[in-house]
Structure 1
Amino acid sequence: MKIAYYSVTRQVSRFVKKLNLASDQAVEVSDTLILSEPFILIIPTYEKEILQEVWDFMVDNAEFCQGIIASGNRNFAELYVYSAKDLSAEFNLPILYDFEFNGTDEDVTAVNSILESY
């Protein structure tokens, strides 16, 4: 399964590296990237303006997105992974998993299991 990811502070990038994916299996999101195969989106939690590139990417690629994995900070309570919740609602996609910051070993194991199930 291909991963499309976006990283602002490089936390999501560090998490993706922990997944030990093949070099062609993970691609960083840009507003000009077009995918023609199924993928899972991994994003951090920020205001929509900061993630505008992700929103623009999803307008052109949502049909191939299988779901969203979100990074966040539980200290923000009800705002935890709200970016993923907004994208999920807008594009009718499931949130497959969430983790804090750049994830733990348990998060890596869980996400690898999700990837294997697709």
Structure 2
Amino acid sequence: MTKINVLYASTEGNTISFVEKLKSITEANGDEFSSRLIGDETDYANETEPYIAIVPTYLNGGTGTGPEVTEIFTNALGDYISFGRNSAYLKGIVGSGNRNFNVQFNLTGLRYAQKFGVPMLFAYELRGSQFDAEKVYNIIKPLFGE
């Protein structure tokens, strides 16, 4: 049995919906699933097991991908990953966004992957589909061993 650990940010419920789909698929395959919503009021803790981060894209400013574009609503997750040695346990990023925003789609996920030196594993739109969650499960399961 594989244990899959997920840390995530969610503001409007889209990421929560995706995490629930991923949990369902993980447990249907006989694996264990653990997830934790990280927000502004989350106390910092030292992670001791591998995990992936699921991060939505909420941006402010600019019309492209330059430095004037800043992340909003997901900073608590980035700060949590940066705390102590937590980034050492991060295996990769799954990102989301709205394709209507063109080059800004999944920009936060791409920035997290670059900042923490981990792979950008997958990106889905809004709440993601069941098919997206199945793809993510198949991508991340090997990262957690058997």
Q: TM-score, normalised by structure 1?
A: 0.90
Q: 1:116: which partner in 2?
A: 141
Q: Deviations over 1:55-105 (max 9, x none)?
A: 211112211000000011111111011111111111111100000011112
Q: Which moved more, 1:20-29 or 1:90-99?
A: 20-29
Aligned Cα root-mean-square deviation (Å): 1.7
Pairs within 5 Å for 1:5-84: 5-19=8-22, 20=24, 21=26, 25-29=34-38, 30=42, 32-47=44-59, 48-60=71-83, 61-84=86-109
Q: Distance in 2 between matches of 1:89 and 1:111?
A: 19
Gaps of 5+ in 1: none
Q: Distance in 2 between matches of 1:55 and 1:49?
A: 11
Deviation at 1:2, TM superposition (A): 0.6
How many residues are paired up? Answer: 118
The structure with the largest alpha-carbon Rg is: 2
2:15 corresponds to which letter in structure 1?
V
Gaps of 5+ in 2: 60-70
Deviation at 1:115, TM superposition (A): 2.7
Q: Secondary structure at the match of 2:12?
A: coil
Structure-2 change in CA distance of 1:74 and 1:31 (3 Å): farther
Q: 1:96: which partner in 2?
A: 121
Q: Which moved more, 1:34-43 or 1:18-27?
A: 18-27
Deviation at 1:50, TM superposition (A): 2.0
Deviation at 1:32, TM superposition (A): 1.7
